[in-house]
Amino acid sequence: MRVCTRSLEVWRMGVVNYLEALKLQDKLVSDRKAGKITDTLLSLQHPPTYTLGKRRTVHNLLVSELQLKSMGTERHYTQSGASLYGVKVRAGESGETGVWVGERKIGAIGFRISSGITSHGLAFNIDPDLSYFEHIVPCGSADKEVTSLNKEVDINLPTEEVIHEQLVSCFERLFGNTNVIWRENPSVYDQQN
């Protein structure tokens, strides 16, 4: 009996500008469509960034472009519209998107499908500066609060690196990857050949 292995390459990238990461993701999707690469997962963080989806709901952004710049944040438009550490999370109810802890949003998920290839985005609030969320209506839910894993638990969390590894492990199990290859800080520009 032949055993099929499904590879996953995980790139630990640290903090990456949103547009650079998006360009890289588009390049990787193109390479995946062409069969040049295996499944690839980017593990990274962005500097403070506000994104607006396909519906361009700019009314959910409560500050001007000038105020965004003075705060050191960026705004970008996008094309995408279980239990963790003892925190009971749930999917959004009717009209809600994302991942929730009670009435508080802890994460957002976006995806796009093109020519049978999916590209996903996952924002999971481990321990961000939650004050940035005071300047937006998160996903159009004005009466909802944003939270973080650190705020929801009564324990000291492991390092972000450990949490990222645990998220990758969950991804690996869910998608049936049996051969995981880790790359540390691969250069975005190395992939442009």
Residue 139 annotated as catalytic? yes
Burial profile 140-169: b = 16 or more Cβ within 10 angstroms, e = fewer: ebeebebbbbebbeeeeeeeeeebbbebbe
Of 106, 104, 107, 108, residue with least CA distance to 145: 104
Residue in 16, 106, 136, 139 annotated catalytic: 139
Q: Where are the alpha helices (DSSP H) in 43-145?
A: 65-71
Residue bearing tokens 């957002």 = 108
* Tokens coding 143: 């009466």
Beta bridge partners of 50: 75
What whole-number distance in Å separates Cα of residue 76 and Cα of residue 52? 6
| 35, two tokens | 């069969």
Residue positions annotated with a catalytic role? 139
